[in-house]
Chains A and B, each alone.
Chain A
Amino acid sequence: MSEFPYIKIQQKDFDLTTEVAAMRAGHKDIGAVVSFVGTVRDINEGDEVSILELEHYPGMTEKALEKIRLEAHDRWKLESSLIIHRIGKMYPTDQIVLVAVSSRHRENAFYASHFIMDYLKTNAPFWKKETLPDGEERWVDARVTDKEAEKRWIQ
């Protein structure tokens, strides 16, 4: 593997085009690139959300994401992949997460990106806290549907 940073935890925003170009650089055997960008919604559980704050566990986050990424490489023979997750304060419409993968053919790239996102949701130590317009703060609860989504990948 090269020095390319495959996992980035950062406060700053990211540019999809730049990041995907960097991930593809030097790989001439790529025939498919799939990317997923998660963004901040202005509504959750029926309430308007003004601010979303992301906390993580430094050290474990990187380790957990790398484990997921390598499993995806193993299962779908990816050429390259990239996971960027933002932390800190974000606002509705902001980008939170980017997962991009490349492979020789499209099917593997579609599956792998879906797998990485499903596993990231239930295995990477990030926590969301939302602030409502009246200033009330609350931690976001884990969704049962995310746990269900993870199960479809169990072999």
Chain B
Amino acid sequence: MVNVLYFASFREMLGKANEQITADHNTVGALIEDLSKRGENWQQALLENKNLQIAVNHDVAQRDTVIKPGDEVAFFPPVTGG
């Protein structure tokens, strides 16, 4: 099980801030593939989004980053602080 977080415009577009995903996925990419089956919003935000930003356990990650049970995976748009 992994804890998945969505921030900013992603949270609004996908309608949730966080959720627990019980299915096993070896990589962030596999998780994205699975989540994208939920519909067009998910596909656009995650699968087809060239600007998708990913973090695993608070570190910047990529689609091929390996994940394991208990990890925290976050999806968000490019950052705009400062």
- Interface set of A (CB-CB < 8 Å, partner B): 38, 54-57, 59-60, 63-64, 85, 96-97, 117, 120-129, 139-143
Separation of A12 and B60 alpha carbons in the complex (Å): 28
Question: Contacts of B31 on A, CB cut-off 8 Å?
Answer: none
- B58's contact among A60, A121, A127, by CB below 8 Å, is which? A60
The B interface is mostly helix, strand or loop, or mixed, namely: loop
Question: Contacts of A124 on B, CB cut-off 8 Å?
Answer: 79, 81-82
Inter-chain contact B9/A60, CB cutoff 8 Å: no
Number of residues of chain B lying within 8 A (CB) of chain A = 18
Q: Which residue of A lies closest to B58 (CB)?
A: A60
B45 at the interface (CB under 8 A from A): no
- A127's contact among B5, B7, B74, by CB below 8 Å, is which? B7
Inter-chain contact A125/B59, CB cutoff 8 Å: no
Separation of A117 and B81 alpha carbons in the complex (Å): 10
B30 at the interface (CB under 8 A from A): no
B53 to chain A, nearest CB (A): 8
Number of A-B contacts (CB under 8 A): 73
Which B residues between 34 and 82 are near A, CB-CB below 8 angstroms?
51, 53, 55, 58-60, 74, 76-82
Separation of A55 and B74 alpha carbons in the complex (Å): 14
Inter-chain contact A142/B82, CB cutoff 8 Å: no
Inter-chain contact B74/A142, CB cutoff 8 Å: no
Question: Contacts of B9 on A, CB cut-off 8 Å?
Answer: 127, 139
Q: Which residue of B lies closest to A142 (CB)?
A: B78
Question: Contacts of B14 on A, CB cut-off 8 Å?
Answer: none
Separation of A124 and B80 alpha carbons in the complex (Å): 8
* Other contacts beyond A55-B8, A139-B9: 4, CB < 8 A: A38-B82, A121-B81, A124-B82, A127-B77
Contacts A129-B8, A139-B8 given: A57-B76 contact, CB under 8 Å? Answer: yes
Inter-chain contact B82/A57, CB cutoff 8 Å: no
